[in-house]
């Protein structure tokens, strides 16, 4: 039995978020899954999210929102594709079938349709439906969080912010999970470069719930984007005990910690975090966020001249099973980093060829539509840089640099590609590219003053007489 603190049929009905089931247990388990999703924490006393996904179907096998939240969460994790995973494809079909054959609320029907659209890669239309729900039901936290994730995968920064701002006034402090809206809103603010406001809102959230790992994550971003390295390090150190138990986000927060260390040039300390936290957690979880973080960190260290070849090889078994996924371009690019780093030319070629095939017949899949104009050029740039063809890497990257936001992720995550362009331009044998490197470094310095990493790159450029 799920703890009595979770909401039953009547409690959901009283909040005007009716769940079509006669099972109080199913309603409570739905609440338990939602709570773990929003708090980034698997509660082992409940069996974690995976355990709850099983018990919710036992409580009521035909509970539409039980299927919506279970199947939807697997989809938004982006670790599995309905194109390759028949079990997941069947779960989507079952969700749709239950929604169309039962007398359920219009809100629930929209949820089921949004999950179906998301499964086909149609992220924009799925987000539109979640927003349609929020117009009528602004306290539907599942719709809000699914939309938040969808916008993140599209790099839709303004929508990420505005989606939350539209519903905030409808939320009251007594409502379950109220404080977690602060973190959601703060993240949208920082991705639209409103850093001071983002920090203020995140700290309001932490004052209410000190172990809110997403609010911590927001503050970490602010310090990163403002070049406040020492402040960031101190903040992560003093809050570590609060957020390290949030197993779904702890790896990512440690990744932010390691970024500060790379900024300072303390590569050994960054590698220590990689070994003790990122790699260990990534191998245990297999979660996409953990996987892209491990790849991103190693790639940044490699660009800084640190030898990480052995670590790439250790990471390879985790990445290889996902070579053909092609769920998001952002994921594909990070898998490619690992394949190239481990010297897997065959698998690298396979990933790129598969992406080209997806681009030829994208259908309604938003990511596949972007593969041709954006994803493939960045992938090819990674390959050319790896081969030492730096000039070609610049020619591929520079024309798409202002569209990179569309691959999704955050400004901090996409910065790895900005750094790649600078390194490629500095190493190119073309004078024009070297001058471009100088321009890009001036731009970087203007946007993020007091960055030790930028200062090092500028010094290196001077040494090369760029």
Burial of 303 (0-12, 13-18, 19+ CB in 10 A): middle
pTM: 0.97
Interatomic CA distance for residues 434 and 416, integer angstroms: 19
Q: What is the pLDDT of residues 144-199, one digit of tens each?
A: 999 999 999 999 999 999 999 999 999 999 999 999 999 999 999 999 999 999 99
Q: Residues 6 or more apart from 179 whose CB is under 8 A from it?
A: 205, 208, 209, 212
Pick from 24, 82, 28: nearest CA to 52: 28
CA distance 416 to 298: 11
pLDDT above 70: residue 3: no
**Whole-angstrom distance, CA of residue 420 vs CA of residue 418:** 5
182 vs 188: CA distance, rounded Å? 10
CA dist., res. 234 & res. 416, Å (int): 23
pLDDT tens-digit series, residues 259-293: 999 999 999 999 999 999 999 999 999 999 999 99
Whether residue 164 contacts residue 188, with contact meaning beta carbons closer than 8 Å, is answered with yes
H helix and E strand count, the chain: 26, 0
| Average of per-residue pLDDT across 45-60 | 96
**Burial per residue of 179-202, b for 16 or more beta-carbon CB atoms within 10 angstroms, e otherwise:** bbbbbbbbbbbbbbebbebbbebb
* pLDDT-above-70 percentage for the chain: 99
Mean predicted confidence (pLDDT) in 396-403: 98
> What's the pLDDT tens digit per position in 100-133?
999 999 999 999 999 999 999 999 999 999 999 9
- 215 pLDDT higher than 90: yes
The mean pLDDT of the chain is 96
pLDDT at 302 over 60: yes
- Dist. CA 213–CA 240, nearest whole Å: 10
- Cα(121)–Cα(242) distance, integer angstroms: 35
Over 90: is that where the pLDDT of 8 sits?
Answer: yes
Question: Alpha-carbon distance 310 to 342, whole Å?
Answer: 8
SS3 388: coil
Q: Is the C-alpha dihedral spanning 288, 290, 295, 300 positive or negative?
A: positive
Identify the band that residue 450 occupies on the pLDDT scale cut at 50, 70 and 90: confident
Enter the DSSP assignment of 306.
-
Rounded to whole angstroms, the Cα distance separating 211 from 218 reads 13
pLDDT tens, position by position, 59-104 = 999 999 999 999 999 999 999 899 999 999 999 999 999 999 999 9
- Cβ 108 vs Cβ 64: under 8 Å: yes
pLDDT band at 463 (very low <50, low <70, confident <90, very high): confident
Q: What is the structure's pLDDT at 62?
A: 98
What is residue 406's three-state secondary structure? Answer: helix
DSSP at 102: S
Question: Which residues are CB-contacts of 137 (< 8 A; sequence separation ≥ 6)?
Answer: 16, 17, 107, 143
Q: Is it the case that residue 2 has pLDDT exceeding 80?
A: no
The whole-angstrom separation of Cα 348 and Cα 374 is: 18
Rounded Cα–Cα distance for residues 74 and 76 (Å) = 6
CA atoms of 328 and 389, how far apart (whole Å)? 26
Q: How many CA atoms lie within 13 A of 113 on its CB side?
A: 17
And the tokens for 327? 């769920």
């Amino acid at each position: 039995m799920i703890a009595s603190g979770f909401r039953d049929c009547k409690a959901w009905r009283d909040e005007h978020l009716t769940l079509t089931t006669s099972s109080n247990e199913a309603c409570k388990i739905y609440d338990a899954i939602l709570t773990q999703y929003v708090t980034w924490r698997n509660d082992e006393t409940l069996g974690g999210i995976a355990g709850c996904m099983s018990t919710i179907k036992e409580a009521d096998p035909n509970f539409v929102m039980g299927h919506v939240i279970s199947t939807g969460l697997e989809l938004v994790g982006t670790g599995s594709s309905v194109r390759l995973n028949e079990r997941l494809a069947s779960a989507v079909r079952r969700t749709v079938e239950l929604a169309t054959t039962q007398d359920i609320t219009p809100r629930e029907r929209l949820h089921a349709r949004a999950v179906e659209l998301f499964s086909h890669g149609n992220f924009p239309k799925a987000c539109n439906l979640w927003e349609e729900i929020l117009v009528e039901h602004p306290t539907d936290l599942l719709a809000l969080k699914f939309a938040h994730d969808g916008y993140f995968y599209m790099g839709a920064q303004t929508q990420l912010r505005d989606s939350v701002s539209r519903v905030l006034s409808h939320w009251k402090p007594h409502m379950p999970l109220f404080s977690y809206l602060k973190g959601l809103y703060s993240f949208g603010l920082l991705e639209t470069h409103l850093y001071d406001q983002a920090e203020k809102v995140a700290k309001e959230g932490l004052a209410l719930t000190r172990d809110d790992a997403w609010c911590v994550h927001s503050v970490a971003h602010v310090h990163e984007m403002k070049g406040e390295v020492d402040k960031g390090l101190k903040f992560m150190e003093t809050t570590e005990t609060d957020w390290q138990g949030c197993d779904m986000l702890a790896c990512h927060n440690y990744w932010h910690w390691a970024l500060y260390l790379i900024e300072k040039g303390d590569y050994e300390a960054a590698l220590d975090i990689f070994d003790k936290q990122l790699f260990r957690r990534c191998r245990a979880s297999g979660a996409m966020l953990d996987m892209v973080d491990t790849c991103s960190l190693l790639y940044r260290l490699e660009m800084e001249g640190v030898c990480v070849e052995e670590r790439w090889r250790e990471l390879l078994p985790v990445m290889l099973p996902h070579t053909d996924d092609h769920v998001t371009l952002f994921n594909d690019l990070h898998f490619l980093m690992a394949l190239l780093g481990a010297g897997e030319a065959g698998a690298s070629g396979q990933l790129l060829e598969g992406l080209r095939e997806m681009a030829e017949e994208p259908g309604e899949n938003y990511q596949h539509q972007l593969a041709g104009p954006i994803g493939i050029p960045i992938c090819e740039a990674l390959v050319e840089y790896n081969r030492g063809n730096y000039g070609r890497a610049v020619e591929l990257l520079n024309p798409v640099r202002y569209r990179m936001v569309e691959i999704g992720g955050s400004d901090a995550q996409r910065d790895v590609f900005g750094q790649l362009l600078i390194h490629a331009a500095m190493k190119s044998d073309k004078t024009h590219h070297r001058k471009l490197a100088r321009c890009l470094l001036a731009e970087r310095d203007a946007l993020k003053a007091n960055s030790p990493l930028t200062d090092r790159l500028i010094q290196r450029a001077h040494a090369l007489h760029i």
